[in-house]
Chains A and B, each alone.
Chain A
Amino acid sequence: MAELLFWPAFLAYSEAVLAYAGNVRTPGLAGRLATWGVRLGWLAQTGLLAVQAVRADGFPWSTWAGSLNLFVWLVVTAYLIWGCRPRYRLLGLAVMPLAAALLLTSRLGGGTSVGGRPRYSDLFLALHVGLVLAAFAGFTLAAGLAALYLWQERGLKRRRASVLRVRAPALATLETLTGRTIAVALPALTLGIVVGLVRLREEGGGLDALMVVTLLTWLVYGAYLLLRYELGWRGRRTAYLALVGFLLVITVRLGLPLTHFS
């Protein structure tokens, strides 16, 4: 059943990718089709996660591929909250290809099937994995917003005559949303890290390279908030900082199989 629900989710996300691309050429119907693709895909994936949760023996997304599945769902959920508005459809063109590709990767890694009994306690996994993944989903969206900001800003700086042709959010809006998304995601990462460190202390283990990168990620986003809200940094500099943080997020995600699941 869980495997069966993968296909509608994947196909709907893929349809959204194609429709978002079509919307850039001809805005209107394609954009609405994309939005419905995201909504239906999200519903199917929610069903997939629900089936996994019901059937699993313990925390269902404890594997790397499983956590990727949950991560995709969180990214699409965050995007759905406000990303489906017509002006944000360009963001969909950045987020949905990533969501579709990662969902497929998750399936290839067995993350969409019902897994076995995890190594760690359910509470620890729910808190640690859930919080860190929620934060990473927020950072992914913030990176999409920052990229859209840089693209839009470049158009204005280059005085592209077609700068008004594609409907996109205003620079100020993109910047505010990036800041707010990071401001919401960072506390989740903080709590996730604290839970992880508590368990590490209980088990008497030491920090590995991946944990150090995660802490570095926390520092980068912490610096982002400090520089933006306290020191008045705005514009390209903060957008680049959000992208640097996202590179670290990718590093953590890619490094997980080497350190935590080897």
Chain B
Amino acid sequence: MGLVLVGLSHHVAPVELRERVALDPERAGALAAALGEGRAEAVCLSTCNRTELYVAAEDAIGAESRAVEALRELAAEAAAELGAVVYRLHDEAAALHLFRVAAGLDSMVPGEGEILGQVRSAFEVGSTGPVLDRLFRQALHVGKKVRSETAIAESPASVSSAAAALAQQVFGALDGREVLLIGAGKTGELAARSLASRGARIAAVASRTPERARAVAERFGAQAITLDEVSRQLATVDVLVSATGAPGLVVSAGQVAGALARRRGRPLFAIDIAVPRDLDPAIHDLEGCYLYDIDDLEAVVAESLSGRRREATRAETLALEEAERFREWRSSREVVPAIASLRARAEEIRRSELARADARLERLTDNERRAVESVTAQIVAKLLHLPTVRVKQAAATPAGAVYVDALEHLFGLGEEER
């Protein structure tokens, strides 16, 4: 059974084309069912960066044509553009590609975690059989392994996640930590959301326009306050996020210094993602206060991404090892029919010989007959054990087919059917 991958991704196709062939889970399931008709298997993986159709079929060439045709139908009037961007991979190359995708090595941000869930969802709605079931389970295993054995997914890949990771470096778990958000714009909200997703509580939202403060505060279940009330809040919050459009400083070092006595040594982590800056840089010089502006956060992200790329080299090795394991598994599957025939032939001979000797065994008691059955079965099993193991091992090597042929020739397997 051949394995085929037909697809396009952000590496080669523009977003205008990718969005045309994108599939929601329901349509991905329907297409997989259509491509998997007969004895074929199919899984459609569709994310914002790629649409890939994995098909396993006896007729690999036919399966590939059907998959390309399916993409053409999805692209509709843009079908002509597909020719230059669609890639087609076969067998081990297709498996390696999926393992790299699951590991996040094919993503824009190396090691990003979302892709693993998307691979799982595609697998769940796919029309799978033994080949794709094994392939996708192994891909999920590779994805988890890469993330646990390398540090590829540990460091933040965006300014807001860097801010949250730095806050965790100060406080540990953010559960119950209180955040004051100054500014009701999108950027600040994004940073606050990133902190909230890690357990922090957005305690208050301050803005020059009370209505906007109230709207954002409502979304977080926080208290809306005015900028004049910020000083009071500084004594209690753990994290300060500021992202206003104000032309000058919004919080001075003096304000924070004034709050320090009431903080009883508790650290304050301040994030200033506004340009021009909102928070007095001198805040960073105060004991227990850490202020990171947009440049600092971007430097952390850049370093983190270069770290991810370094880890990607190790992850590539893991993906290659798994691809090799998949190749071995597929090769060993090819000898299964020959082994099954050999065992069937041996069992048939054993039974027919026992039947021929039936008259001579008549005098035996039931227990003795069972013993003879058992002993003959054991002899057959033991005789076939080593050849079975050896031929499975050989199947994983380039000479595997020769061994299968030899086995069939020596034992005359399949001859009676001819």
B300: Cβ under 8 A from any A Cβ = yes
A151: Cβ under 8 A from any B Cβ = no
Structural contact, A164 and B155, CB atoms closer than 8 A: yes
**Chain A residues with CB below 8 A from B300, complex form:** 161, 163-164
A157 vs B149: C-alpha distance when bound (angstroms): 30
Interface extent on A, as a size class? Answer: 20 to 34
A163 vs B267: C-alpha distance when bound (angstroms): 17
**Chain B residues with CB below 8 A from A237, complex form:** 287
- Knowing A163-B300, A170-B172, A236-B287, the reply to whether A28 touches B150 (Cβ < 8 A) is yes
Structural contact, B267 and A171, CB atoms closer than 8 A: yes
B156: Cβ under 8 A from any A Cβ = yes
A235: Cβ under 8 A from any B Cβ = yes
A181: Cβ under 8 A from any B Cβ = no
**Chain B residues with CB below 8 A from A161, complex form:** 296, 299-300, 302-303
**Chain B residues with CB below 8 A from A152, complex form:** 169
A173 vs B169: C-alpha distance when bound (angstroms): 9
A170 vs B171: C-alpha distance when bound (angstroms): 6
B198: Cβ under 8 A from any A Cβ = no
Structural contact, A162 and B303, CB atoms closer than 8 A: yes
Structural contact, B171 and A232, CB atoms closer than 8 A: no
**Chain B residues with CB below 8 A from A235, complex form:** 265, 267, 287-288
A162 vs B172: C-alpha distance when bound (angstroms): 18
**Chain B residues with CB below 8 A from A234, complex form:** 264-267, 288
> 1/0 per position for B93-125, CB-CB distance to A under 8 A?
000000000000000000000000000000000
Interface SS, A side: loop
Chain B residue at minimal CB-CB distance from A232: B264
**Chain B residues with CB below 8 A from A163, complex form:** 166, 169, 300
How many residues on B have C-beta within 8 angstroms of the other chain's C-beta atoms? 30
**Chain A residues with CB below 8 A from B156, complex form:** 164
- Knowing A159-B296, A234-B266, A235-B288, the reply to whether A165 touches B170 (Cβ < 8 A) is no
Structural contact, B169 and A233, CB atoms closer than 8 A: no
> 1/0 per position for B123-150, CB-CB distance to A under 8 A?
0000000000000000000000000011
A156: Cβ under 8 A from any B Cβ = yes
A152 vs B166: C-alpha distance when bound (angstroms): 11
B231: Cβ under 8 A from any A Cβ = no
A161 to chain B, nearest CB (A): 4
Chain A residue at minimal CB-CB distance from B307: A165
Structural contact, B170 and A172, CB atoms closer than 8 A: yes
**Chain B residues with CB below 8 A from A171, complex form:** 169-171, 267
A164 vs B165: C-alpha distance when bound (angstroms): 8
A235 vs B151: C-alpha distance when bound (angstroms): 29
Structural contact, B290 and A170, CB atoms closer than 8 A: no
- Knowing A173-B172, A234-B265, the reply to whether A156 touches B166 (Cβ < 8 A) is yes
> 1/0 per position for A145-171, CB-CB distance to B under 8 A?
000000010001101011111011111
A1 vs B264: C-alpha distance when bound (angstroms): 55
**Chain B residues with CB below 8 A from A196, complex form:** none
B302 to chain A, nearest CB (A): 7
Structural contact, B265 and A232, CB atoms closer than 8 A: yes
A163 vs B303: C-alpha distance when bound (angstroms): 9
A155 to chain B, nearest CB (A): 9
**Chain B residues with CB below 8 A from A162, complex form:** 303, 307
B328: Cβ under 8 A from any A Cβ = no
Chain B residue at minimal CB-CB distance from A168: B169
A143 vs B303: C-alpha distance when bound (angstroms): 30
> 1/0 per position for A164-201, CB-CB distance to B under 8 A?
11011111110000000000000000000000000000
B168: Cβ under 8 A from any A Cβ = yes
B30 to chain A, nearest CB (A): 42
A161 vs B171: C-alpha distance when bound (angstroms): 18
Within 8 A of B (CB), among A212-262: 232-237
B193: Cβ under 8 A from any A Cβ = no
**Chain A residues with CB below 8 A from B169, complex form:** 152, 156, 163-164, 168, 170-171
A156 to chain B, nearest CB (A): 5
Chain A residue at minimal CB-CB distance from B296: A159
B46: Cβ under 8 A from any A Cβ = no
A173 vs B284: C-alpha distance when bound (angstroms): 21
**Chain A residues with CB below 8 A from B170, complex form:** 156, 170-172
Structural contact, B299 and A156, CB atoms closer than 8 A: no
**Chain B residues with CB below 8 A from A110, complex form:** none
Structural contact, B171 and A164, CB atoms closer than 8 A: no
- Knowing A27-B151, A28-B150, A235-B265, the reply to whether A164 touches B166 (Cβ < 8 A) is yes
A233 vs B302: C-alpha distance when bound (angstroms): 35
B52 to chain A, nearest CB (A): 30
B292: Cβ under 8 A from any A Cβ = yes
> 1/0 per position for A114-137, CB-CB distance to B under 8 A?
000000000000000000000000
Chain B residue at minimal CB-CB distance from A233: B265
Q: Contact check: which of A28, A159, A172, A233 meets B172 at CB < 8 Å?
A: A172
A250 to chain B, nearest CB (A): 27
**Chain B residues with CB below 8 A from A167, complex form:** 151, 154
Structural contact, B267 and A172, CB atoms closer than 8 A: yes
Top-3 shortest CB links A-B? A234-B265, A232-B264, A170-B172
22 pairs, A vs B, C-beta closer than 8 Å: A28-B149, A156-B166, A156-B170, A157-B284, A161-B296, A162-B303, A162-B307, A163-B166, A164-B300, A165-B303, A165-B307, A168-B169, A170-B168, A170-B171, A170-B172, A171-B171, A172-B170, A172-B172, A232-B264, A233-B265, A234-B264, A234-B267
- Identify 15 new A-B residue pairs, CB closer than 8 A, beyond the known A156-B169, A162-B303, A171-B267: A27-B151, A157-B290, A159-B296, A161-B296, A161-B299, A161-B300, A163-B166, A163-B169, A164-B162, A164-B166, A170-B170, A170-B172, A173-B172, A234-B266, A237-B287
